[in-house]
Structure 1
Amino acid sequence: MITIASMKPRLKSEEDEEVLNCLEQLEDLCVERDQHREWVILENYIPVLVQLLGEKNRDIRNRALVILYILAKDSDDAKERVANADNAIEFIVRSLGRRIGEGKLAVALLLELSKFTLVRDYIGKVQGCILLLVTMSGSDDSQAATDAQELLENLAFSDQNIIRMAKANYFKHLLQHLSTGPEDVKMIMVSTLAEMELTDHNKASLFEGGVLSPLLHLVSDSDLEMKKVAIKALRNLSSLPANGLQMIREGAVRALLDLLVRHISSSSGLREHVAATIMHLAESTVSQGSNPTPISLLESDEDALMLFSLISWTGPDVQQNILRIFYALCQSPSASNIKTKLTECSAVQVLAQLCEQENQNVRANAVKLFCCLVEGGDEATILEHVGQKCLETLLRIIQSSTDMVEIASAMGIISNLPENSQVTQWLLNAGALPVIVRILPNSKQIDPHNNWLVENAVGAICRFTVPTNLEWQKKAAEAGVIPIEFTEVESANTKTQGVLVLLCSTRNWLQDSWGVCTVESSFCLVEADAIRPLVRVLEDPDPRACEASLDALLTLIDAERLQSGGKVLAEANAIPSIIKFLSSSTPTLQEKALNALERIFRLPEFKQKYGPSAQMPLVDLTQRGNSSMKSLSARILAHLNVLHDQSSYF
């Protein structure tokens, strides 16, 4: 015992070799006899060993972890002493986030400590601990992975730990508690699913893990609040098309439709979530590939008629989702039947009235669906309900709306109206020609939907250039419809060529404007009112367009312009779109988004506002990205205080 007592001062030496030699001797003594371990504990070595976990020398940390494990094994007294040592668990968790050899020793020690209740209660609360354990549970090192999984099992006693695991992409215990837990625990778990920012990978994993069955069971629960939260969770999960199709296959639509009708007068907000969920299911039917037996959302014509009739009995939130449901169905394999049924139930008349709605979201979705029905629709029905007042309303929308899809759809309605002289004369009387002509030069730098807008505008103009009516031709010429303009417009007349022309012209402009960036040339984007159009391009399905736009926008936060440029991006609502690129299937977009967010999240106001929505995609990249993405994602998570900034695990 005298020998053991005399060694302690050597552990405080400034010479690493001296400390390592002492630790080696101490380890040998601990291994030799149980009594030696007791003496080491009585001589209060544990706090000293814990402090050594903060040393820069990795070998010293590893030796200290080994000895602490030997002391803690089968000794509640030692475990309690470790727990009481200053920052002990924090130091061990930091080691968990370092190289796999050190992490393996750290997880073994934490696993042993977790067998003592007082320590177990604290482990899951330490910053980054559960995320690191989840990551290690998938390690190539089988022992480290097994220990991490067993430790997660031990930590699953706490609902909060289960939520932390879910936020780190580990849903095993959440799913178990959702299926078999008591009602209050089920409420906690389903609320977590309802509120979490889930990546597509998360959503797919949850469905593979069997989340749908317990959620559908909870939808039929007698408790209204439980029912509402379960629907919110389904809404969150159903935005992934594969999940939506599975929900349809497993009979979710009938339950949702019944809820929508039953709660038509409810003010609980339930019907809004139900309608939004059905909308996701409708959207999932659009892209079914070459499925020989495509899945249909609605089982019968009666369902379609009943659902559309609800537009007249619901508020704006439900209305816009019902309109989006039918718009999606008009793009699905059942489009022909849906359009026929909508025409039969006087949908054209209803939609024409909704075009005058004050609520912009309802109006915009009504115009989009209206455009679908007019294209190739029954001419007699259209002419019955589209008069001069309706045409004037559409022209007002084209002139005043800020939604480019709505503008293009309104133009599409005009373009696809039956070739009828009365309709054309109404358009002339309403001043349509100058409105349409003004759209053409403006559309080239407005929005990624401009090709469709240009096509529709050209189609609308064509009705005024028929060779049999010289008066119309003269008015068209007076309005500025000259051959050279037609040549310009027609160069973008097919969708594929038009999009490419748009992308090329955009890229050329970017190259000309920002080839050499200075403060003045970058911020001329602001002066030119180009920010919001560029931000809208970030929503384009073509990754090339997104990348070109992102490159331009990110010049705003170069070097010393981070603070002012970040503010400009925030005001234009660009940061959420950049966060979405973390889940992109295009690696270059992911990397550019990561580099941008690493700078943006250095600013506290943006870290606080946008950090939570970026956390799950970043966690996903630390586990599934390439090595550089893992490292950069971990650095951003450190900015967000999810990981310790000294973690080198990734």
Structure 2
Amino acid sequence: MATSNAPPSDLLLSEVIQTIFEAIHATKNVHLQNENFKKLSLYLEKTAFILQELIKLDINDSGSLLSAINELNKHVSEAKTLADQYTNMNRIYLLLNSKKTVTSLEKNTKDLGAALNLFAPLIPANGVGEEIVNLSKIMSDSKYRITFAEDDIMDKIELAIRERNVDRSYANNLLVSIADAVGISTEQSVLRTEYEGFRHEMEKMETTADVPETLQIEQIVGLLGKADIIATAEEREKKYFSKRNSLGRQPLEPLQSFYCPITGDVMEDPVETPTGHSFERGAIEKWLTEENSLCPVTKTPLKSSALRTNKTLRQSIEEWRDRNTMIVIGSMKSRILSEDEEEVIICLGKLKVLILERDLHQEWVMMEDYLPVLVSLLSTKNSEIRSHVLVILRILATNHDDRKESIAKTDDAIKLIACSLARKIEESKLALQLLTALSDNDLARNMIANTQGCILLLVTMSGSDDPQAANDAKQLLDNLSSVNQNIVQMAKANYFGPLLHLLASGPESVQLLMVETLSELEMTDHGKLMVCENGTIELLIPMLSHNDIDMKKAAILALEKLSGVPQNGLEMIRQNATEILLGILFRESLSNPILVEKIVAIVMNLALSLTSPEADQMENLFLESEEDVFKLFSLISLNGPNVQQNVLRTFLAVCQSASGLNIRNTLRKICSVQVLVQLCEHENQTVRSNSVKLFCTLTKDGDDEAFMEHVGPKCVDTLLKITNTSDSIEEAVAAMQIISNLPRKPQMTQWIHEAGALRVIISILSNHFHKPEIMVESASGALCRFTISSNQELQKKVAETGVIPVIISLLDSGSGLTKKNIAVSLGQFSESSNSLTRPVEQKSSLFACCFGSPDMGCAVHSGICTTESSFCLLEANAINPLVKVLDEPDFGACEAALDALLTLVNGEQLQKGSKVLEGGGAVAKMVKLLSSPSVRLQEKALVALERIFRLPEYKQKYKMSAQMPLVEITQRGSSGMKSVAAKILAHLNVLHEQSSFF
């Protein structure tokens, strides 16, 4: 932080950084455009990081610097204002202005980039300067996008305004789409509040907008205002009865102009010809396509391109239909209550047709208070009337929670519906469907569960000979089981109990029916567990060996369904299901592809169960023999994509289980790598992705020779293509990880380099802000193969790309694994520095001794060093970032950073290198590492300090701080570490002082 004594520029930069953090915080609270504001936030975070680095550089104040700071601050404030607007303004207003927002974001980002670029000439061209130039370029090229949903809504609004669409259902659907897009509830009160806020925002805009924009504002407000869902139920009902009472009692005949001259029917979508005649669109288009080129009425030439929608006529027809429908719905209720059953059936049929036409008609039926009338008809003796009523009630209930509650509250409704469960199968199925629809509502579900006899009727239906009825009854029982524990127990005792009893001891025909029912039953994971707790698995597994093929198939289907829950999968493994399933699989592999597909799906589920926490204490009984592994893997070459992907997923899961190492070794032994290399080019994306991931798993601890034999230039090209083009991040990362893991033999590295891998790796690392962290980790790991010190020519090619400053920056921002990989690469670079440094040229002049001092060269390597020619850590400014990594909680990153730093004190460089490490604070950090929980870090720090403490200046400085950790090692360390620690204590001349400790 800058203080009051700091230069003015540092104070101003601190203020800008504070504003940036305020803007970043504001972007996290936006209601819409989340992805776009995340992108802006990312640019702001990087800008803040650069400004913090600028404060450390001690740049001289100048007019140019202050001007750059003020320009940047202006645009940062604009970004914060933009984010604040998206936090506080009306959401509908923001959505409809999304295109303007995208334009503003792009302009602001470009302005930020241009302002940031003003700092570039004021600081050195390397380091922070390069970061500024790179970030400025990225920001200047940055593009933002509106979402598909936002674009779709804007298109619908423009279409409605252009065609003057006044349909209320269109406006309702549009408003619901807007609510979904902006993340608000579709409840009437919420929509109404949001719409009123939007209208208020638009009214404020009208005062400043020009005439065309004002007209568009009025049109949008008017369009959304037609949505009746923003009105209260009381307002809609008042509006409905006001209109209905003004219409009279008799439907009106259609006007002559409503009829199509071709069909003779009232038109749905009238279109007008240039001569003023209107036709049904479909009829006139058909007329013209059947080699008729003249108007049917005027006989004048007519082309289909001349037809225009007759909006006025269409609106008139719609108003006429609505008027007559209101009259019909309002007058039909009394006829439904008549004693004439035929009349009642006809009226119910008409009512069903009307409510299926439009949701608006359903609302009118509810306003006319039809529910008591309809429910009362459920007690009639006529089954056809009852069936019509059950269908109508289900239509009214579907997707309307308030109507479900209204039906449930109507006198005796649930009781009368439940009575229909006990009637003929067709009526009972309709009643079951209605109860299932109602059970989504909390009140209705409680009433169903507590209706006397209802549960018993449902349990009875769950054993029905009709599969659909039985399945629906079981599903409803599952829904009701959430009401209270008594219902759970009832379902368990009356539903699963009889089912399992019949599985165990019923006739074979009944057993087959029960197994088929179990395989078709829709169950939650909890339900699947509950079934298996009662011993189902023990009953099903013997059926796998049944002589009857239908029984065997049914058992396989049931086990497939149940095995999806890890606990069930583990129980199947304990019951030796794996061996039986594999036996069937290998026998049927060529003759029954459908059976093979189902068994492979079960085997995959069993493998996945081995990766669950419940498998930790379990003895592995899965794929124990090499023969089973070979036969199962061989199925990949004999079957289609469904089997292939499931076999691959099986081995992926098993490789992650406790026996993973053995399985991986077996897979490599049976030449699976050769098959996987081929599958990396598979046209099925899922098969290819799983192949790449399994291939990656095998490379992590594989035998070099196996991969050298089967992986060639073509395979490397394929892997790089996947990395660049795959839609799956996991697949792309796995492909890059393979490139990192492949044997580091010269031939392999040459193939990988010639395929362009280095270019891809550097692109990922250079654009790490825009890449997933796991991709950066994989790319940083792959880079290590190009930086080994045994191939200095390859090291030079890497350095010439300018990537070293980029990877050094990742020591601050990368993950623990990325930091480890980067430190390994820097260490490998540094191993070559001593041999690549250029000797300092000696001046030959006789008077050289009199004029000036000679060039002293690198403080460590004594020659001329550069980042790109000798890869010197000191010249690359890598010392401080590496020292910071020594504080990492990730021991791997810490160890790699220590190894890299210790390359500076190898051999004769001890004194010079120690001085550089001391200047960077590394020696003090090494002393701290003597107390590290990691024995490897302790040992490495110990060995390094033994050499460094031979130098008197460090021995005296660290004598006190190193003393106690060293004594602790002599007490608790390994024998080798004890010896080194005692040797250091002797260097420090404190061994005799601590003799009581030994």
CA shift digits 1:4-47 (9 cap, x unpaired): xxxxxxxxxxxxxxxxxxxxxxxxxxxxxxxxxxxxxxx97999
Answering whether residue 430 of structure 2 is matched by residue 125 of structure 1, we say yes
For the residues of structure 2 that align with 1:430 and 1:143, how far apart are their CA atoms? 67
Give the secondary-structure state (helix, strand or coil) at the position aligned to 2:702. Answer: coil
For the residues of structure 1 that align with 2:392 and 2:723, how far apart are their CA atoms? 62
For the residues of structure 2 that align with 1:174 and 1:268, how far apart are their CA atoms? 34
Give the 3 Å change call, closer, same or farther, for CA 441–259 of structure 1 in structure 2: farther
For the residues of structure 2 that align with 1:109 and 1:372, how far apart are their CA atoms? 61
For the residues of structure 1 that align with 2:574 and 2:708, how far apart are their CA atoms? 39
Give the 3 Å change call, closer, same or farther, for CA 87–273 of structure 1 in structure 2: closer
Out of 389, 398, 405, the residue aligned to residue 98 of structure 1 is 405
Answering whether residue 648 of structure 2 is matched by residue 323 of structure 1, we say yes
For the residues of structure 1 that align with 2:691 and 2:799, how far apart are their CA atoms? 33
1:503-514 → structure 2 map (5 Å cutoff): none
Give the 3 Å change call, closer, same or farther, for CA 135–396 of structure 1 in structure 2: closer
Instruction: Look up the match of 1:464.
Output: 786
The answer (yes or no) to whether the contact 2:546–2:552 under 8 Å persists in 1 is yes
CA shift digits 1:72-118 (9 cap, x unpaired): 7xxxxxx6258746855568888995379848944444455655x44
Give the 3 Å change call, closer, same or farther, for CA 390–80 of structure 1 in structure 2: same
Answering whether residue 151 of structure 2 is matched by residue 151 of structure 1, we say no
Instruction: Look up the match of 1:598.
Output: none
1:283-362 → structure 2 map (5 Å cutoff): 283-288=608-613, 291-362=616-687
Q: Which has the higher contact order (CA 8 A, sep 6+)?
A: 1
Instruction: Look up the match of 2:799.
Output: 477
Answering whether residue 400 of structure 2 is matched by residue 80 of structure 1, we say no
Give the secondary-structure state (helix, strand or coil) at the position aligned to 1:377. Answer: coil
Give the 3 Å change call, closer, same or farther, for CA 460–147 of structure 1 in structure 2: same
Per-residue deviation at 1:429?
2.6
Per-residue deviation at 1:184?
7.7
For the residues of structure 2 that align with 1:183 and 1:275, how far apart are their CA atoms? 26
For the residues of structure 1 that align with 2:408 and 2:640, how far apart are their CA atoms? 60
The answer (yes or no) to whether the contact 2:569–2:606 under 8 Å persists in 1 is yes
For the residues of structure 2 that align with 1:282 and 1:493, how far apart are their CA atoms? 31
Q: What stretches of structure 1 of length at least 5 have no aligned partner?
A: 1-42, 73-78, 499-650
Per-residue deviation at 1:162?
1.0
For normalisation by structure 2, the TM-score amounts to 0.38
Instruction: Look up the match of 1:200.
Output: 525
Per-residue deviation at 1:232?
3.9
CA shift digits 1:385-416 (9 cap, x unpaired): 44444434433433444333222112111212
The answer (yes or no) to whether the contact 1:137–1:144 under 8 Å persists in 2 is no
CA shift digits 1:593-617 (9 cap, x unpaired): xxxxxxxxxxxxxxxxxxxxxxxxx
Amino acid at match of 2:458: L
Amino acid at match of 1:376: D
Instruction: Look up the match of 1:534.
Output: none
For the residues of structure 1 that align with 2:628 and 2:706, how far apart are their CA atoms? 22
CA shift digits 1:116-160 (9 cap, x unpaired): x44x64133144224547989997679825422123145444523
Amino acid at match of 2:602: T
For the residues of structure 1 that align with 2:670 and 2:449, how far apart are their CA atoms? 65
The answer (yes or no) to whether the contact 2:567–2:614 under 8 Å persists in 1 is no
Instruction: Look up the match of 2:169.
Output: none
For the residues of structure 2 that align with 1:490 and 1:394, how far apart are their CA atoms? 29
Out of 421, 425, 436, the residue aligned to residue 761 of structure 2 is 436
For the residues of structure 1 that align with 2:703 and 2:642, how far apart are their CA atoms? 29
For the residues of structure 2 that align with 1:86 and 1:310, how far apart are their CA atoms? 52
Per-residue deviation at 1:431?
2.4
Out of 707, 711, 716, the residue aligned to residue 391 of structure 1 is 716
For normalisation by structure 1, the TM-score amounts to 0.56
1:575-586 → structure 2 map (5 Å cutoff): none
Give the secondary-structure state (helix, strand or coil) at the position aligned to 1:482. Answer: helix
For the residues of structure 2 that align with 1:135 and 1:252, how far apart are their CA atoms? 41
1:154-165 → structure 2 map (5 Å cutoff): 154-156=460-462, 157=464, 159=466, 160-165=468-473
Give the 3 Å change call, closer, same or farther, for CA 108–400 of structure 1 in structure 2: closer
The answer (yes or no) to whether the contact 1:104–1:144 under 8 Å persists in 2 is no
The answer (yes or no) to whether the contact 1:204–1:243 under 8 Å persists in 2 is yes
Out of 678, 690, 699, the residue aligned to residue 374 of structure 1 is 699
Identity of aligned residues (%): 38
The answer (yes or no) to whether the contact 1:89–1:123 under 8 Å persists in 2 is no
Give the secondary-structure state (helix, strand or coil) at the position aligned to 1:292. Answer: coil
For the residues of structure 2 that align with 1:487 and 1:196, how far apart are their CA atoms? 57
Give the 3 Å change call, closer, same or farther, for CA 81–194 of structure 1 in structure 2: closer
1:258-273 → structure 2 map (5 Å cutoff): 258-273=583-598
Per-residue deviation at 1:328?
0.7
Per-residue deviation at 1:316?
3.8
Per-residue deviation at 1:236?
3.6
Per-residue deviation at 1:433?
0.8
CA shift digits 1:567-616 (9 cap, x unpaired): xxxxxxxxxxxxxxxxxxxxxxxxxxxxxxxxxxxxxxxxxxxxxxxxxx
Answering whether residue 476 of structure 2 is matched by residue 168 of structure 1, we say yes
For the residues of structure 2 that align with 1:86 and 1:348, how far apart are their CA atoms? 63
Give the 3 Å change call, closer, same or farther, for CA 158–357 of structure 1 in structure 2: closer
Amino acid at match of 1:462: C
Per-residue deviation at 1:372?
1.0
Instruction: Look up the match of 1:602.
Output: none
The answer (yes or no) to whether the contact 2:609–2:615 under 8 Å persists in 1 is no
Instruction: Look up the match of 1:491.
Output: 813
Answering whether residue 583 of structure 2 is matched by residue 277 of structure 1, we say no
Q: CA RMSD in A?
A: 4.6
Give the 3 Å change call, closer, same or farther, for CA 415–83 of structure 1 in structure 2: same
The answer (yes or no) to whether the contact 2:404–2:441 under 8 Å persists in 1 is no
Give the secondary-structure state (helix, strand or coil) at the position aligned to 1:286. Answer: coil
Find the structure with the greater CA-based Rg.
Answer: 2
Answering whether residue 579 of structure 2 is matched by residue 257 of structure 1, we say no
For the residues of structure 2 that align with 1:262 and 1:154, how far apart are their CA atoms? 40
For the residues of structure 2 that align with 1:371 and 1:143, how far apart are their CA atoms? 53
Give the 3 Å change call, closer, same or farther, for CA 442–122 of structure 1 in structure 2: farther
The answer (yes or no) to whether the contact 1:371–1:413 under 8 Å persists in 2 is yes
Per-residue deviation at 1:460?
0.8
Give the 3 Å change call, closer, same or farther, for CA 84–355 of structure 1 in structure 2: closer
Amino acid at match of 1:422: Q
Give the 3 Å change call, closer, same or farther, for CA 113–436 of structure 1 in structure 2: closer
Give the 3 Å change call, closer, same or farther, for CA 186–130 of structure 1 in structure 2: farther
The answer (yes or no) to whether the contact 2:421–2:429 under 8 Å persists in 1 is no
For the residues of structure 1 that align with 2:392 and 2:754, how far apart are their CA atoms? 78
For the residues of structure 2 that align with 1:410 and 1:55, how far apart are their CA atoms? 60
Answering whether residue 560 of structure 2 is matched by residue 235 of structure 1, we say yes
Per-residue deviation at 1:61?
5.2
For the residues of structure 1 that align with 2:412 and 2:797, how far apart are their CA atoms? 84
The answer (yes or no) to whether the contact 1:433–1:479 under 8 Å persists in 2 is no
Give the 3 Å change call, closer, same or farther, for CA 490–432 of structure 1 in structure 2: farther
Amino acid at match of 1:147: G
Out of 406, 409, 414, the residue aligned to residue 739 of structure 2 is 414
Amino acid at match of 1:124: K
Give the 3 Å change call, closer, same or farther, for CA 135–278 of structure 1 in structure 2: farther
